[in-house]
Amino acid sequence: MRCPYCGNATNRVIDSRLSRESQEIRRRRECLECTRRFTTRERVEEVIPKIIKRDERREEYERAKLEHSIQKACAKRPVSENRIQQLVDRIEKGLQETGEAEVTTGFVGDRVLGELTAIDRIAAARFASVFRRFESAGDYAAFFEAADREADAADEG
């Protein structure tokens, strides 16, 4: 770590603390050359796979895109912003845990749909209508029938 004042690479750590969310470590340092103090923050570098689109293009994962699509599906539904953020966090964690360099939009969409169905079926149907390209009322009916079967199976198990 280089001193932001003099550029020297030799310094010592005076104090280390976890952030409130325990997501990063805050370190207070002192430069051994100019004796000025500065703060650094360390965070684990998260590696999320690239996304393979339907047309085979590859894109970097963008949390904002995923958040936006889920927020649209949950518009005017009793789903809090906090719950949406937790859902996105779980999806991201799942993507990291795959260990894959690339995943398809279908893989991500299926994960979102599974999580969203457990939270709010109407929001899940909205998401599914775009993700699975619904074209008729029959598509919605089939979605709700499948969701009901999965809920019944979960209740029995």
Q: Do 30 and 90 share a domain, yes or no? A: no
Same domain for 35 and 61, yes or no, is no
Higher pLDDT, 5 or 43: 5
Residue type (1 letter), 86: Q
Distance CA 156, CA 121 (A): 19
- pTM of the predicted model as reported, rounded to 2 decimal places: 0.67
Tokens of 142: 């089939």
The answer to whether residue 76 is domain-embedded is: yes
Is residue 108, in this structure, part of any structural domain at all?
yes
36 shares its domain with 55: no
Contact partners, residue 54, CB within 8 Å, separation at least 6: 105
The DSSP bridge partners found for residue 18 are 25
Do residues 37 and 87 share a domain?
Answer: no
Identify the domain containing residue 59 by its residue range: 50-156
The per-residue pLDDT for range 133-147, each reduced to its tens digit, is: 999 999 999 999 988
Task: Mark whether 89 and 105 lie in a shared domain.
Answer: yes
Pair (85, 106) in one structural domain: yes
If asked whether residues 110 and 37 sit together in one domain, one would say: no
Domain membership of residue 2 (yes or no) is: no
DSSP percent split of the chain into helix, strand, coil, nearest 5: 50, 20, 30
Number of domains in the chain: 2
Same domain, 142 and 73: yes
Residue 149's pLDDT band (boundaries 50, 70, 90)?
confident
The answer, yes or no, to whether residue 157 has pLDDT greater than 70, is: no
107, HSE (Cβ side, Cα atoms, 13 Å): 16
Same structural domain, 80 and 17: no
Local confidence band at 7 (pLDDT 50, 70, 90 cut-offs): very high
Residues 84 and 148 in one domain: yes
Please check whether residues 27 and 94 belong to one and the same domain: no
The 10 Å CB-count burial string (b at 16+, else e) for 50-64 is ebbeeeeeeeebeee
Q: Are residues 137 and 72 in the same domain?
A: yes
Residue 6 lies in a domain: no
Q: Is residue 23 part of a domain?
A: yes
